[in-house]
Structures are given as structure tokens and as C-alpha cells.
Chains A and B, each alone.
Chain A
Amino acid sequence: MLRLDDVTKEFKIGAFGGKSVTAVRKVSFEVVPGEVVSLIGESGSGKSTIGRMILGLNPVTRGSITFDGRPVRAGKEYYRHIQGIFQDPFSSFNPVFKADRVYNMIKEAYYPAVPEAEWAERVEAALSDVRLNPGQVLGKYPHQLSGGQLQRLLIARALLLDIKLLVADEITSMLDASTRIDVLNLLAELKARGLGVLYITHDLSLGTYLAERTVVLRRGSVVEMGLTGRVFGDPLHPYTRELLSAVPRLNQAWDDATAVDSCVYHECGASGALIEAEPGHFVACARLDTCP
């Protein structure tokens, strides 16, 4: 459904754009219907840039992004199938308007012919899909609703369209532990109905909870990708191992992954090309066999 081929993004920096920085380097992966792919990386790894390019908010420098075989063309028809949700629910809404105005905007832009009564029914159905009580959220201003409610309002807004892919960029990082999991469970239910989700996060535990496949990014390049259980059950790249060992876990002391400390992948001269270590499990480490 969504396909990225050798996508590269360079940003011009400096006073007259004289310098450039490569934010994303030759990234290729695919999202199919009914699949959650999590894109994991630290700050500056280019994960949000990839999300923005898929949404057509930033142009691609080289390579191609195609959706159902057609290239990204930001516009009404494209956004009918692809929607994005971002980190801060409070800045996603205009604070001077009521939150449910976003639904009227969808109606005006996409379904002007639908009668009011039928539209109200559709909105209620979408709200109940995201486990919101229409009476509690309709007619309220954004500040009267909680972060979890606002994120779910945005998911419901996407559901009103003929949505096929949702780009979820850190959508739960501003939510509390007790509501975060509700939003994740909701995504899992939508996935079961055939929605494809690109789940962008820096939180490894949230990424593994939902995703079938995981893509680990470092400085704009893919270092490892494959089935989530394989990537985190048997990480091959030292960077993935280091990330995993840094995650604080309950019931388990922080271990220093000693093998990682001895690895010099920071200066490693490896080309960074992906190698298929086992079927469907790619890793960008040329010294797999020689490294301890």
C-alpha cells in the first residue's frame, strides 16, 4: 500500500542555504493494509521527517514514496486516504473554536452532499468507534477535554474519511500511563479492521506493543528492520542492543551490555548497506560474523 524506495531528505541550512544536512538517507520500507509498522529512533534520527514526507508536508529530495502505486500528491484526494496525528493534541486544535468543528470542516471539504442528520449519525458512529461518549465531547472547547480525549477525537476525524493509512507521530507521548494504553488498544482494534498504521515513537516499549514490524533508525539510516519479535528478541545490530539495554524495566536491573561497549560502530567503516540476516530481518552491520 505505502512504499518508500531509497528515500533521502536533505535540508538546506546556513545563511543562504549554502550547507545541507542529510536528515534521511536511503530509507526503504513498506506498510501493508492491516499492519502496524513502528518507526523507532532517537531525537534527530529522521523519524518525524519520514512521517512528514509521507504526509506530503515536506518534499522528498531523492527516491520515491508511493501510495497504491501513485506518488505522494498533497491534496484533497490524497488526504482522503492518509491522515496524520501528531504529538501535542492541544496544538492540533484551534483553541478559539469548539473541538468538534474539525468534523464540520471534513463535511464541508469532502461530503457537502450528505444531509446533516446522516452526518450526525456518522460522527456518532466514529466517536463510538474510538470509545468516546458523544455527549461528553461534542460542543466542548479543546481546553475542556483531556489529552487522551483530544487524540481520540482526531482519530475519529480520520475515520470519517475513507482512511487507509494513519501516520501516528508520537501520539501517546504526552498522555498519562493510564490513558496511553487505551489509545494504543484503539489503534490495535482499527488495525484489525484493515487500517495500516505507521507508528512513530522513541519509546521502545510502546513500539513493540502494537507493531508487527519494526524499523530502527539511527541518524537518518535504517540500522535494523524486521518482525518486531525478531528485532527485539534477537537484535543483531549493536545499536539496537544498546537501545534495548538503556530502556528502564521493572523487575530487572539496568545491565550494561558489555558487548556493546566494545563495539566501535560509531566509527565503524561499514557502508551501512542493509544485509538480509534471516528472511525478512535486515541489518546494517557488515561485521555481523566477526564482531563478538
Chain B
Amino acid sequence: MSLQVSELRVYYRTLKGEVRALDGMTFELGDGEILGLVGESGCGKSTLGKSLIRMDGRMRHVAGTVVLDGQELPIGDDRAMNDFRFREVSLIPQYAMSALNPTRKLRRMITELLKSRGSAVDTAELERRMDQVGLSRDMLDRYPIELSGGMKQRMVMVISTLLDPSLLIADEVTSALDVSTQKAVARALLGFRESRYVKSMIFVTHDIALTHHIADTIMVMYAGRLAEKAPADVIVKAPRHPYTKLLLDSLPEVGVRYADRRLEGIPGSPPSLLDPPAGCRFRARCPIAGDECAQDPPVAELAPDHHVACWKA
């Protein structure tokens, strides 16, 4: 196992109290596995991604452990995490466009970045990786403003994985891109795994169709908790959690027309995580909720590798 997360709780401090953004997440990620993390806004998917690399000032690590390659990550300790960032855990941010220093040419920026980590640039390797994602080598002598959005995104991907991290977190990397660029970026991510630049990957997105194409496993989160986790095909073809089912039903696909088939959204909205209700958090919106749902549903392994947190599944 490459990554083991157990009972992770991360809360946000606010004036009104603590927002329980992650409330007891337990999951594992195998070697070479790409995990797609999906859910609505505010379900905690980005918080999970951030917790694994850098918590901002408002976030507090309350409980739980994160073990990467047999070593526990000190996720609550900003300074101790420095030894792991970039080397062991790396991140591709959502807005790669704004992640590059606008006042430096890319070559100088990369040199400075690696120097700060005590490494030197292996230009041959850097250029080989740029070739792989389809960037021409003379990009290194340009300023970020001279690159298009998709090019910048791919450049950041190459930079983030230069030190061959064990875990790569890709947070909504394709949501600001056009469909054709999105495809190129997603393909490049798959290429990184094949070339063993990264061992495993967490791909955070709200686009289930895209996740299905690149992830081995999909994990669906709802209101800070795991709802369902299973191999990608199983989630799409045979979901067991009512939330996953409704979410899939609400996806418009090319060719689906209002006149032929009216899709339905999920009524209601997710509960506030400031003081979340007891029991199943999807209960209020769930069409099949019953009395037992007032109790917290345990995460059960219904089939090999198919984990579901629902009493009715």
C-alpha cells in the first residue's frame, strides 16, 4: 500500500465554530493506483487534497493518521512537512496559470525552485519530460505569459513531478480548460504514471465522466465523509450508494435531449458542516432513507474493493 489514511479529521476554524470539513475519512491507495475523488462543492474533496500536502492557517488537524510508503506524514506540522513536500508528495494546483512566477523565464524559475530543495536541474531529463507532454524545448526560455493555459498547465505538471514524488495530488487540474486541452492534460497524467514519475495519484474533480477515463478507483465524498469507493467501472455501472446513483442520473451526456429524457437534479442541499446532523448526512435528501439512517452508517465492504457507507445498500 502506498498511502493509508485512517480516521482523518480536519476542521476549519471560523468565528462561528469549527467546520468539520473532513470527518473521519479512511481509505487506502495502492502502488500505481489513480484515485478519482469526486463530490459536490463543499464535500471536503479539496480539503482532503490540501491536508495531504499543506494545511492553511485556518485548518486544524484534529485526529487520524496519514501513512505514505510506511512512513507517517506529519500533516499537522507545517515545518516538518517541508521534508516531504515536492519529494514525496507533490501537488498540481487548480490554477496552474497563476502558479508560475510571472517575472522569471521558466528555466530560471525551475533552477531556483530545485535549488531551494537542494537539487540541481537535470536538463536532459527535464527536456525529455517536456517532449512527453508535447511541449517544445524552447518554452524554457520564455516567460509564463507567452504560454497558453493548457501549455502552462502541462508545464506545471512537469515541474511538480521533477523529483519523482510518490504521491501526486491533482486538484481540479482540468476544470479551467477546454475539452480538447483537457484531453491532452488527462493523457499526460496517465503517461506520468506509466513512466513511473509518480507512484500513485489522487485526481480531485467534479467531473465524473472525465474521472472514469483516467482513474482506476473512484471515491465519492459527501459532506466530509466517504459515501462510496469502488473501481471506476463499478461506480459508473453499478453504484450502490443512493447519492452516487442520483449524481450519475443528473449528468447530461452529449446526445441526451430534454425533449427525449428529462434529467433530474438532487433536491435540497448538503447539510452545514458547522454542526452536522447525527446519522447519515445524506438522509435529508435521500429518497430511500429510513429509521436506521438516524445512526451513522458504517463503511462496509460489500464486494471486494467496493466500500459503501449506507444502511440500505
Interface residues of chain A, those whose CB is within 8 Å of chain B, are 42-43, 146-147, 176-182, 184-185, 188, 202-206, 208-210, 228-229, 232-233, 242-244, 246-251, 253-254
Contacts and interface: CB of A to CB of B under 8 A. Distances in A.
A176 B208 contact: no
A205 B40 contact: no
A204 B183 CA distance: 14
B209 A229 contact: no
Interface stretch (B27-35, B65-73, B139-147, B247-255): B247-255
A178 B254 contact: no
B262 A185 contact: yes
Interface in B198-214: 206-210, 212-213
Of A146, A178, A209, chain B has the most CB atoms within 10 Å of the CB of: A178
A247 B265 CA distance: 21
Contacts of A254: 183, 213
Contacts of B263: 181, 184-185, 209
Contacts of B251: 177, 205, 250
Contacts of B180: 42, 242-243, 246
Contact of A202 (B179, B210, B252, B258): B179
A251 B248 CA distance: 12
B269 interface: yes
Given A208-B255, A246-B182, A247-B179, A181 B207 contact: no
Contacts of A249: 209, 253-254
Nearest to B214: A248
B257 A180 contact: no
B183 A244 contact: no
Interface string B174-190: 00001111110010000
A181 B266 CA distance: 9
12 contacts: A178-B266, A188-B258, A202-B179, A203-B179, A208-B255, A208-B256, A209-B263, A210-B257, A246-B182, A247-B254, A250-B209, A251-B237
B305 interface: no
Interface residues of B, number: 37
Nearest to A209: B252
A228 B212 contact: no
Nearest to B39: A176
B257 A228 contact: yes
B257 A209 contact: yes
Given A42-B178, A42-B180, A253-B213, A232 B255 contact: yes
A176 B246 CA distance: 13
A45 B212 CA distance: 28
Given A205-B254, A250-B253, 10 more contacts: A147-B41, A181-B250, A209-B252, A209-B258, A242-B180, A246-B179, A246-B182, A247-B209, A249-B254, A250-B236
Interface string B259-279: 000111110010000000000
B50 to A, nearest CB: 19
A197 B262 CA distance: 18
B258 A204 contact: no
B231 interface: no
A178 B263 CA distance: 10
B149 interface: yes
A178 B40 contact: yes
B2 to A, nearest CB: 26
A235 to B, nearest CB: 11
Given A178-B265, A250-B209, A184 B182 contact: no
Given A178-B246, A205-B256, A206-B252, A248 B212 contact: yes
A250 B250 contact: no
Contacts of B246: 178
Given A185-B262, A205-B252, A250 B208 contact: yes
A248 B178 contact: no
A99 to B, nearest CB: 16
Interface in B32-82: 40-41
Contacts of A181: 250, 252, 263-265
Interface string B2-35: 0000000000000000000000000000000000
B209 to A, nearest CB: 4
A240 to B, nearest CB: 11
A155 to B, nearest CB: 15
Contacts of B266: 178-179
A230 B253 CA distance: 16
B177 to A, nearest CB: 8
B75 to A, nearest CB: 27
A114 to B, nearest CB: 33
A184 B253 contact: no
Contacts of A210: 257-258
B183 A42 contact: no
